[in-house]
Chains A and B, each alone.
Chain A
Amino acid sequence: MTDGTRAGRAPSRIAAAVRGSRLVGDSVVAAVTVLAVGAAGMLIPLGVGVNLFPPAAARLRMLANRARARAASWSGEPLPASPPWVADQDGFAGRARLCWQILGSRGFWDEVAWATLDPFTGGVLAAGPLALIVYGLFGALVQPFLWATIHAFADGNYYAVIHVDSWTNALLAVPLGVLFVVLGVWSGPWWLRQHARLTRSLLTTRRAELARRVEQLTDIRTEMTDHSAAELRRIERDLHDGAQARLVAMGMSLDAAERQLDGDPEAVRALLVQARESSTAALQELRDLVRGIHPPVLADRGLPDAVRALALEMVVDVTVRAAIPARLAPPVEAAAYFAVNEVLANAAKHARPHQINVDLRYGAGRLSIEVVDDGDGGADPADGTGLRGIGRRLAAFDGTIAVDSPPGGPTTVLMEIPCALSSPKTSSSSGTV
């Protein structure tokens, strides 16, 4: 599915301001730690650093992991912790090896960069709401009582844009101060989310990213194997109850006809007609089955014409535009075809549209399919199993589906699949249907 802006479990607005101030404290601790790490690192050539550096690096990692956990819980996206530094053997040699290992690890340098930058960039983001609130309180509660004193000491007593040199102006500063407080409280979660995002970008290690990817791929594989096993079971059942049964019936009719050959020619004729009907029905069932597995037009012509063929079967008017210069890989074609099929069926069923437009494009290494209907709108991808199922199947190709469906319509479904073109165009060049 699309990875949009997920809300995450950011703390409440008041708590955000408080936590922001704690983040400032933490960033100072991180800065001190990174100084210690640097000092210990420089002492490594003297030997004493070999004993000091690993614990300092371990301390830095602990702080980084704490920041990771916090960023994960506030942004709503997992950010795995890095493993602690452990020497694989005891004694000086083991510690020396660990120093070497730490200094060669990209994760360590990411953490150094994070701890160095955090007091500046991260600190500003974390302290932002608190600063607004304090400054607001100053304007609302302190200025009215102390403006004369401050004015006497400093020539220009400014509160934001207001030059506070009279009672009128001091009272004018009050609503402005209240506004700052409200802004600070209201924007608190936003500042924290930005902080979490920054922490994430500094502390996401390649290794953690790969671990996440492996987990995602494992999920997709499970999904796919489950899906194909279910499909095979369905096909087996359809064949067993359909075509196979018809062929058995046909054999029986032919057998009965053979036994009556010398007797009643009319009865033989009736049995033969029955046998032919069985064969017609079996063929029809096989046709329907094959169409559900891999539609013939898709195999013959590729995606654009297969979608055009689909459009012709729809009761609603469907216009298809396609700009795909060559055939796509067969699995991508099939996934895209069934996705379009599902989206069209969904639209026709729920939205009561008069017109649907399908736009197929290929560019920058990805296939984009846009389906727009002028129906009722209000489709929720989290709600409908159809749209969610499409998302899961497209995920197997790292594809995405995004749905924009305001109440009252129109509904736009955009699907994208990264893929390569496989062979020169064989599709007919007809424009729209």
Chain B
Amino acid sequence: MRVVIAEDLFLLRDGLTKLLREHGFDVVAAVDNGPALQQALLTAEPDVAVVDIRLPPSHTDEGLQAALAARRRRPGLPILLLSQYVEQLYARELLADQAGAIGYLLKDRVSNGGQFVDAVRRVAEGGTVLDPHVISRLLVRGTARGTVTALTDREREVLALMAEGRSNQAISQRLHVSESAVTKHTANIFTKLDLPISNDDNRRVLAVLAYLNR
């Protein structure tokens, strides 16, 4: 699997390159600035890109802008964005095209190599991966607004994991329950929140996020 990495700190760029190579990825480009990333996204034909949001030369959200621009030219190009901060505003912008194959994680998550590589794979396969931090803040807001108060605690846990972009199988492993139990919970959630039930994982994530963003 061909991967492009954009990260301006050498130690982190080097660490990401090694980590992904160890897990069988083919790192075709590892760049340290916005313009070089734009170039690499359009010419290196990556299957997935791992991109730091803040990049030189401007040290603002150049990685995000490059990712959005590249996806406008190649819709659905899989990109996983990393940042020291997660912002609801940026999450919305990344999800706006509804094409899936997008990820938005805190940089801390790379310290758990296994989970991080799993996230890269899910994005490459067209999935949506959102940082638990984004989701938990959405749930806090949803609770205060009274939009998720109809759910039980367990259903809220399942909702959070769905919103992070996890499959029923992954949720069942995480919560140590059977997959059929998870299926039952998700059905309950969709009924209570009056959402259309969908078997397509990406659609499911988008529906849940749209609901939480209300």
A pairs with B: yes
**Is the beta-carbon distance between A276 and B60 smaller than 8 angstroms?**
no
Query: In the bound complex, what is the Cα–Cα distance between A239 and B87 (angstroms)?
Result: 23
CB distance from A282 to the nearest CB of B (A): 10
**Is the beta-carbon distance between A276 and B145 smaller than 8 angstroms?**
no
How many A-B pairs have beta carbons closer than 8 Å: the answer is 47
Q: CB within 8 A of A315: which of B85, B90, B108, B144? A: B144
**Is the beta-carbon distance between B54 and A279 smaller than 8 angstroms?**
no
Q: B93-107: which have CB < 8 Å to A? A: 93, 106-107
Given A279-B108, A296-B84, A297-B89, is A315 in contact with B145 using a C-beta cutoff of 8 Å?
yes
Query: In the bound complex, what is the Cα–Cα distance between A309 and B106 (angstroms)?
Result: 17
A266-310, CB under 8 A of B: which get 1 and which 0? 000000000010011001100100110000110111000100110
Other 16 A-B pairs with CB < 8 A, given A283-B107, A301-B60, A313-B137:
A276-B111, A279-B108, A279-B111, A280-B108, A291-B85, A296-B87, A297-B90, A299-B60, A300-B54, A300-B60, A301-B61, A305-B89, A309-B87, A312-B89, A313-B141, A314-B141
**Is the beta-carbon distance between A315 and B84 smaller than 8 angstroms?**
no
Query: In the bound complex, what is the Cα–Cα distance between A315 and B214 (angstroms)?
Result: 10
Chain B residues within 8 Å of chain A by Cβ, number: 21
B101-144, CB under 8 A of A: which get 1 and which 0? 00000111001100000000000000000000000010001001
Q: CB within 8 A of A300: which of B61, B108, B141? A: B61
Q: CB within 8 A of A287: which of B84, B88, B141, B145? A: B84
Query: In the bound complex, what is the Cα–Cα distance between A312 and B91 (angstroms)?
Result: 11
Q: CB within 8 A of B60: which of A308, A313, A315, A426? A: A426
Task: Answer whether residue A428 sits at the interface, using C-beta atoms and an 8 A cutoff.
Answer: yes
For residue A317, which residue of chain B has the nearest CB? B145
Given A276-B112, A280-B108, A299-B60, is A313 in contact with B85 using a C-beta cutoff of 8 Å?
no
Task: Answer whether residue B174 sits at the interface, using C-beta atoms and an 8 A cutoff.
Answer: no
A312 contacts across to B, CB distance below 8 A? 88-89, 92
For residue B84, which residue of chain A has the nearest CB? A287
B112 contacts across to A, CB distance below 8 A? 276
A321-334, CB under 8 A of B: which get 1 and which 0? 00000000000000
Query: In the bound complex, what is the Cα–Cα distance between A315 and B88 (angstroms)?
Result: 13
Given A279-B111, A312-B92, is A297 in contact with B87 using a C-beta cutoff of 8 Å?
yes
**Is the beta-carbon distance between A313 and B88 smaller than 8 angstroms?**
yes
Given A312-B92, A428-B93, is A280 in contact with B111 using a C-beta cutoff of 8 Å?
yes
Query: In the bound complex, what is the Cα–Cα distance between A426 and B141 (angstroms)?
Result: 29
A426 contacts across to B, CB distance below 8 A? 60
**Is the beta-carbon distance between B60 and A287 smaller than 8 angstroms?**
no
30 contacts between A and B (CB under 8 A): A276-B111, A280-B111, A283-B106, A283-B107, A283-B108, A284-B108, A287-B85, A290-B84, A290-B85, A291-B85, A296-B54, A296-B83, A296-B84, A296-B87, A297-B90, A299-B60, A300-B61, A301-B61, A305-B89, A308-B89, A309-B87, A309-B88, A313-B88, A313-B137, A313-B141, A315-B141, A315-B144, A315-B145, A426-B60, A428-B93
For residue A280, which residue of chain B has the nearest CB? B108
Ranked 6 nearest A-B pairs via Cβ: A300-B61, A312-B88, A309-B89, A315-B144, A300-B60, A296-B85
B144 contacts across to A, CB distance below 8 A? 315
A283 contacts across to B, CB distance below 8 A? 84, 106-108
Query: In the bound complex, what is the Cα–Cα distance between A280 and B87 (angstroms)?
Result: 18
CB distance from B111 to the nearest CB of A (A): 6
A280 contacts across to B, CB distance below 8 A? 108, 111
CB distance from B190 to the nearest CB of A (A): 24
For residue A279, which residue of chain B has the nearest CB? B111
Q: B5-44: which have CB < 8 Å to A? A: none
A315 contacts across to B, CB distance below 8 A? 141, 144-145
Query: In the bound complex, what is the Cα–Cα distance between A369 and B145 (angstroms)?
Result: 26
